[in-house]
Amino acid sequence: MEIELNETQREIETSVRKITQQFTDDYWHECDENSRFPEEFYRAMADAGWLGITMPEELGGAGLGVTEAAIMMHTVASGGGGQAAASSIHINLFGPHAIVVHGSPEQKKRWLTPLIKGEEKACFGVTEPDAGLDTTSIKTFAKKVDGGYRITGRKMWTSTGQEAHKIVILARTTPKSECKRPTDGMTLFYSDLDRTKIEVRRIKKLGRNAVDSNATFIDDYFVPESDRIGDEGRGFYYLLDSLNPERVLVGIEAIGIGRDALNRAAKYARDRVVFGRPIGKNQGIQHPLAEAWCSLEAAYWMCMRAAYLYDKGLPCGAEANAAKFLSGRASFDATTKAVLTHGGMGYAREFQVERLFRESMLPRIAPVTEQMILNFIAEKVLDLPKSY
Ligand SMILES: Cc1cc2nc3c(=O)[nH]c(=O)nc-3n(C[C@H](O)[C@H](O)[C@H](O)COP(=O)(O)OP(=O)(O)OC[C@H]3O[C@@H](n4cnc5c(N)ncnc54)[C@H](O)[C@@H]3O)c2cc1C
């Protein structure tokens, strides 16, 4: 058993690091402060070909696995830009997975090529205000009409909706009450984000302010039949394919943020002199940071284990969920300790750790909460009765 990155994987790290190093703390601070999308970073990643890392080679992608995508996203998130950097490109990696697997050759060419080149951005509308984590209770409905569908409903938290040219929508095409199983009767669409029919209202939020999230109102929005992904009624099952990679990527991004914060804290602890010695000479400062290092390291390798299983085509649900759970907590713990190590300066914007701290709450909540992960492990791994 070898647990190490190979040469190609280390090269990914080195190449991506060269890009992240071009973007300073001031850059990320400004994007966060002004709620401005990091277009320059996004463009640099697109121009270097990274937006297609997991996309098919025949369309200009690199055709690599979730392991390589995870290495890339860890490098991105640990490079100072945290969640803002990661979320500006994250959706490209596994968001369009349903298209890669279930799209027709014509759809793949039409949709994936502009995403890979960075000519188009996409957003993802699954969550709804009245359904929450109970996805089968979504109300957004796509009514069959001549040549396509008319969609009406509401989505919540649609990230990058202010920037996106395209939107993935999960909608009911058959009411839940008429389906054999609650997971039947939902359909996935990918179409132009027509702002005359879709209002995208930005939500003010705790962190990751450079990348918008929105309440989305869809009113009698026409989608041609050619913009339906795969078969009608199979949308929920298509989404399932991408859930495990998404958990791994969100987990590893959290680790990147935690490691960045930890490095900043260790540097501050070496430099800051109080009572005539560096604060890092006190075990009360050292030990929490050392403990954070241990947790981040363990969670990192859990992510890599889940990625490895996924890429081998092996079951990885428990591992991917555990990876996201452990990473979210380890990251939040590390950023909290980083703020505390900085004392008063931890609360100041100048030292960046408060930004990382605010962002580290997000991977504990999205794309799935800690409670739902524990429900999954209890039920599927420990064979305990379903609790809800
Ligand atoms: C910044 C941000 C960006 C996002 N981006 C997107 C996006 O681009 N597209 C998209 O579709 N969604 C997006 N989301 C939505 C995100 O995936 C959801 O917020 C998340 O899945 C939680 O759903 P909810 O907010 O509806 O929580 P709810 O379902 O309302 O749950 C609230 C709380 O109750 C708990 N709970 C509920 N049921 C149970 C149960 N049976 N057992 C134990 N606990 C339970 C939950 O764990 C949670 O703690 C984003 C969210 C945020 C915050």
- Return d(Cα 128, Cα 136) in angstroms, integer: 10
Whether the per-residue pLDDT at 153 is higher than 90: the answer is yes
Based on the number of CB atoms within 10 Å of its own CB, is 163 exposed (0-12), middle (13-18) or buried (19 or more)? middle
Whether ligand 1 lies within 6 angstroms of the CB of 125 is answered as yes
From ligand 1's centre to the CA of 129, what distance in Å?
10
- Return d(Cα 33, Cα 260) in angstroms, integer: 19
Do 85 and 38 touch, CB atoms closer than 8 A? yes
Whether ligand 1 lies within 6 angstroms of the CB of 346 is answered as no
Whether ligand 1 lies within 6 angstroms of the CB of 160 is answered as no
Contacts (Cβ under 8 Å, ≥6 apart) of 251:
299, 302, 303, 306, 320, 323, 324, 326, 327, 328, 363
**In the prediction, which pLDDT does 2 show?**
81
Atom 29 of ligand 1: nearest residue by CA position: 132
pLDDT tens-digit readout, 260-311: 999 999 999 999 999 999 999 999 999 999 999 999 999 999 999 999 999 9
Whether ligand 1 lies within 6 angstroms of the CB of 104 is answered as no
Mutate which of 365, 374, 384 for ligand 1 pocket (most atoms within 8 A of beta carbon): 365
State which ligand 1 atom lies nearest to the alpha carbon of 123: 8
Instruction: Sketch out the chain's domains with CATH numbers.
Output: 7-117 (1.10.540.10), 122-235 (2.40.110.10), 237-380 (1.20.140.10)
In 10 A of CB 266, how many CB atoms? 19
Chain-centroid distance, C-alpha 56 = 20
* φ, ψ at 156 (rounded to 5°): -130, 140
Whole-prediction pTM: 0.97
From ligand 1's centre to the CA of 136, what distance in Å?
14
pLDDT tens-digit readout, 104-121: 999 999 999 999 999 999
Contacts (Cβ under 8 Å, ≥6 apart) of 134:
none
Whether ligand 1 lies within 6 angstroms of the CB of 157 is answered as yes
Of the listed ranges 155-159, 213-217, 240-244, the least confidently predicted one is 240-244
- Return d(Cα 382, Cα 60) in angstroms, integer: 43
In 10 A of CB 352, how many CB atoms? 22
DSSP calls for 295-340: HHHHHHHHHHHHHHHHHTT---HHHHHHHHHHHHHHHHHHHHHHHH
Q: How confident is the model at residue 331 (pLDDT cuts 50, 70, 90)?
A: very high
Mean pLDDT over residues 43-72, rounded?
95
Whether ligand 1 lies within 6 angstroms of the CB of 159 is answered as yes
Quote the tokens at residue 94: 């596994």
Residue 69: in which H helix or E strand, if any? helix 66-76
From ligand 1's centre to the CA of 127, what distance in Å?
8
> First and final CA of the chain: distance in angstroms?
39
Atom 30 of ligand 1: nearest residue by CA position: 132
Whether the per-residue pLDDT at 95 is higher than 90: the answer is no
Contacts (Cβ under 8 Å, ≥6 apart) of 219:
152, 197, 198, 199
Atom 49 of ligand 1: nearest residue by CA position: 369
Whether the per-residue pLDDT at 241 is higher than 90: the answer is no
- Return d(Cα 249, Cα 73) in angstroms, integer: 7
Average pLDDT score over the chain: 97
- Return d(Cα 86, Cα 95) in angstroms, integer: 13
From ligand 1's centre to the CA of 134, what distance in Å?
9
Share of the chain above pLDDT 90, in %: 97
- Return d(Cα 109, Cα 100) in angstroms, integer: 10
From ligand 1's centre to the CA of 146, what distance in Å?
35
Whether ligand 1 lies within 6 angstroms of the CB of 366 is answered as yes
From ligand 1's centre to the CA of 355, what distance in Å?
22
